[in-house]
Structure 1
Amino acid sequence: MGRTALAASLEQAHEQAHAHDAEPAPQAAPPGPPADPVAVAMELLSPQGRIDPYPLYATAHRIGPVAGIGGGWFVVAGYDAVNQVLRSTGYGVTGAQISQERRDEHAALALLAPSILESDPPRHTAMRSLIGSVFTPRRIAALEPMIRAAVDELLDGLAESGADGQPVDFMAEFAFRLPVTVICEMLGVPVTDRQRFRRLAAGLTTALEFMTDHSQLAPADAAAVELAAFFGDLIAERRDDSGDAPSDRSDLVGALTAARDADDGRLSEAELLANLTLLLVAGFETTTDLLGNGLQLLFDHPEAARRLRAAGGGQDDVAAFVDEVLRCESPVQVTSRVALAEGLELAGVPIPAGSRLILLIGAANRDPARFPDPDRFDPARPANKPLSFGVGAHVCLGNGLARLEAAVAFPRLLARFPRLAPAGTAPTRRDRVVLRGYETLPVRLTAPPA
Structure 2
Amino acid sequence: MDASEAAKTLLTFTGDLDPNEAYAALHAHGQILQIGDRAFLVNGYDAVDRALRDSAMQKLDAERLDAVRPGWREYRSIALFADSMLRANPPRHTRMRRLAAGVFTARRVEGLRAVISQQVDELLDELTAYAKGLDLVARLAYPLPIGVITALLGVPAADRGRFRELATALTGVLELNWSEDDRKLADAAADELTDYFAHLVAARRADPRDDLVTALAAAHEADGERLTGDELLANLALLLVAGFETTTNLIAGGIVLALDHPAYAGKLRDDPALAPAYVEEVLRIDPPVQVTSRRAEGASAIAGLAIPSGSDLLLLLGAANRDPARFPRPDVFEPGRAGPPPLSFGGGVHYCLGAPLARLEAQIALPALLRRFPGMELIARPRRRPRMNLRGWREVPVTLAG
TM-score by length of 1: 0.86
Residues 392-449 of structure 1: CA deviation (Å, up to 9, x unaligned):
10000000000000011011101110111101x22110111211101111011003xx
Select between 377-386 and 180-189 the one with higher mean Cα deviation: 377-386
1:442 aligns with 2:402: no
Distance of 2:72 and 2:329 partners within structure 1: 44
Per-residue deviation, 1:279:
0.2
Per-residue deviation, 1:51:
2.1
Per-residue deviation, 1:148:
0.6
Query: Which structure 2 residues correspond to residues 119-198 of structure 1 after superposition, within 5 A?
Result: 119-162=88-131, 166-198=132-164
- Root-mean-square deviation over aligned CA pairs: 1.5
Seen in structure 2, the aligned counterparts of structure 1 residues 49 and 90 have a Cα distance that, compared at 3 Å, is farther
Per-residue deviation, 1:384:
4.2
CA contact (8 A) 1:260 1:268 kept: yes
**Among 218, 223, 238, which residue is 1:263 paired with?**
223
Structure 1 equivalent of residue 305 of structure 2: 349
Distance of 2:129 and 2:65 partners within structure 1: 48
Structure 2 equivalent of residue 396 of structure 1: 352
Distance of 1:139 and 1:222 partners within structure 2: 34
**Among 224, 230, 236, which residue is 1:276 paired with?**
236
CA contact (8 A) 1:44 1:50 kept: no
Per-residue deviation, 1:167:
1.0
Larger radius of gyration: 1
Select between 265-274 and 396-405 the one with higher mean Cα deviation: 265-274
Residues 41-73 of structure 1: CA deviation (Å, up to 9, x unaligned):
221245578521111100000111011001421
1:286 aligns with 2:246: yes
Note the residue ranges of structure 2 that are not aligned, 5 or more in a row: none
Q: Say which SS state the counterpart of residue 210 (structure 1) adopts.
A: coil
Distance of 1:380 and 1:143 partners within structure 2: 25
Seen in structure 2, the aligned counterparts of structure 1 residues 263 and 47 have a Cα distance that, compared at 3 Å, is closer
Per-residue deviation, 1:91:
0.3
Query: Which structure 2 residues correspond to residues 217-256 of structure 1 after superposition, within 5 A?
Result: 217-240=183-206, 243=207, 248-256=208-216
Distance of 1:172 and 1:51 partners within structure 2: 22
Select between 266-275 and 87-96 the one with higher mean Cα deviation: 87-96
Distance of 1:121 and 1:90 partners within structure 2: 11
Structure 2 equivalent of residue 108 of structure 1: 77
Seen in structure 2, the aligned counterparts of structure 1 residues 65 and 193 have a Cα distance that, compared at 3 Å, is same
Q: Say which SS state the counterpart of residue 337 (structure 1) adopts.
A: strand
Distance of 1:53 and 1:443 partners within structure 2: 25
CA contact (8 A) 1:179 1:283 kept: yes
CA contact (8 A) 1:206 1:220 kept: yes
Distance of 1:411 and 1:183 partners within structure 2: 21
Aligned residue pairs: how many? 399
Per-residue deviation, 1:310:
2.1
Q: Say which SS state the counterpart of residue 117 (structure 1) adopts.
A: coil
1:90 aligns with 2:46: no
**Among 291, 298, 307, which residue is 1:334 paired with?**
291
Residues 316-350 of structure 1: CA deviation (Å, up to 9, x unaligned):
x11000000000000001111100112x0000111
Q: Say which SS state the counterpart of residue 324 (structure 2) adopts.
A: coil
CA contact (8 A) 1:102 1:109 kept: no
Seen in structure 2, the aligned counterparts of structure 1 residues 249 and 141 have a Cα distance that, compared at 3 Å, is same
Per-residue deviation, 1:358:
0.6
Structure 2 equivalent of residue 63 of structure 1: 29
**Among 31, 43, 46, which residue is 2:9 paired with?**
43
Q: Say which SS state the counterpart of residue 390 (structure 1) adopts.
A: coil
Per-residue deviation, 1:160:
1.6
Distance of 2:297 and 2:196 partners within structure 1: 36
Q: Say which SS state the counterpart of residue 357 (structure 1) adopts.
A: strand
Note the residue ranges of structure 1 that are not aligned, 5 or more in a row: 1-32
Distance of 1:257 and 1:406 partners within structure 2: 30
